[in-house]
Structure 1
Amino acid sequence: MKLFSIQSTSEISEDSSMNALHRIAAEQSSRELGLVLSDLVVRNVNFHASDLTDLIAIQSNFCSCDCRGMKLIGSTFTQTTLKDISFTKAFLSKATFYRCSLIKIDFRAANLIRSEFTDVIFSDVTFAGADLNGASFENCDLRGQDLGEANLDGTQFFGCLLDDSVKMMVGAIVRESLS
């Protein structure tokens, strides 16, 4: 796989060089291109139904973006903040979120099968109706987050703080520690 890297301390918005990112993604098959975004601020960008499969985002910030129906299969987010984003009906299977902050995120009806969330901070996040089959959460505080009607078959929670209602959901595997 080829890698294309954008590393910047500047901001990308709907009116700036984000158009170049869309062109690159459209011209390249996701299997040929692994896009790496590092130290970047992405704000007010419409990614609706875009395919950025295998995206790698490191120490970046995404704010007020439309990611409905977007394909981010196998993508990795490390020390990245995602704020005020709709991932409604997005494809995030096998995505990895490591030491991220997820604030005002809408994962309604999203495909999060076998996704991993490790040391993630959640605030005002909804997973209502999301498919979390086989997903794992490790050392996360999920109290107060909306997991209503989410598919939790085989979803594992290791060392997480959970509302009692989540502990009782069918299919959820809850372990207090990793041992």
Structure 2
Amino acid sequence: MPEPIEDVTFHDEDWYAEELTDRHYVRCTFHRVDLTEATSRGAVFDSCTFGDVLFNVSRHTDSAFTRCVFTRCNLFEAEFIGCKLVGSTFDRCDLRPLTVDGGDWSFVTLAGADLRGARFTGVRMRETDLAGVDLTGATVHGVDLSDVQWRGARLSGADLRGSDLTGLDPTAVQRAGAVIDVGQAVALAHALGFDVRV
């Protein structure tokens, strides 16, 4: 890993299709940077701020965006494979359709985000803030959702099979047509006070 670039502001830069391999940024600010179709592998962004940044069709593999803030960014068809986003916040971002495969998105703030049709598979999302999030028609497979904040979330038509829903209060979310497996159904029934017997 190269020496980190610290406390630098990047403003109105064109990084279209840039290959960000093993780069390391700490407390940097990215404002109106075009990262459309960019790729990152093994890159680290620690405590960075992204404002009005274009991540359209970008692909990130084994990279880290920890404790970062994303404001009004466009992540149309962005992919995060095995990435770590612990403690990051998304505010008024365009996140559709987002693909997340593996990695750790624990303690991430996605409150109120439009994630219709998004795909989250095999990712750790412990204590993530999903209050008011719209996951209508989304795929959320094998995801660790323990201690997630669900209040007011929309899960209609979402496929939640294989995910940890032990902290989900079914009465606090919109859930019509959401798909779950038998084990999840039993756990949710227990959460509602039912004594499940065969």
Return the TM-score normalized by structure 1. Answer: 0.81
Q: Which residue of 1 aligns with 2:21?
A: 7
Structure 1: runs of 5 or more not aligned: none
CA contact (8 A) 1:114 1:132 kept: yes
Deviations 1:46-82 (A, max 9, x none): 1133221122110011112111332112110001000
1:165 deviates by 3.7
Q: Tell me which of the two structures has the higher relative contact order, counting C-alpha pairs closer than 8 angstroms and 6 or more residues apart.
A: 1
| 1:155 equivalent in structure 2 | 158
The RMSD of aligned alpha carbons is 2.3
**Contact residue 53 and residue 74 of structure 2 kept, 8 A:** yes
Q: How many residues align?
A: 165
Does 2:148 align with 1:145? yes
Larger Cα Rg: Structure 1 or Structure 2? 2
Identical amino acids, percent of aligned pairs? 18
Structure 2 Cα separation of the partners of residues 143 and 6 of structure 1: 32
How big is the shift at 1:166? Answer: 4.7
d(CA) in 2 for partners of 1:164, 1:64: 24
- Which residue in the other structure is 1:117 paired with? 120
- In the superposition, relative to structure 1, how do residues 69 and 22 fare at CA in structure 2: closer, same or farther (>3 Å)? closer
Indicate conservation of the 8 Å contact 1:42/1:62, yes or no: yes
TM-score (norm: length of structure 2): 0.74
Mind listing any 5+ residue stretches in structure 2 that lack a counterpart?
Answer: 1-15, 184-198
Judging changes above 3 Å, is the alpha-carbon distance between structure 1 residues 164 and 44 closer, same or farther for their aligned structure 2 residues?
closer
Give CA deviations for 1:133-165 in whole Å, capped at 9, x if unaligned. 111111112121112101112111111221264
Describe the SS at the equivalent of 2:18: strand
Give the superposition deviation at 1:22: 5.4
Query: How big is each residue's C-alpha offset from its partner over 1:84-126, in whole Å with a ceiling of 9 and x where there is no partner?
Result: 1111332211111101101210001111111111001112201
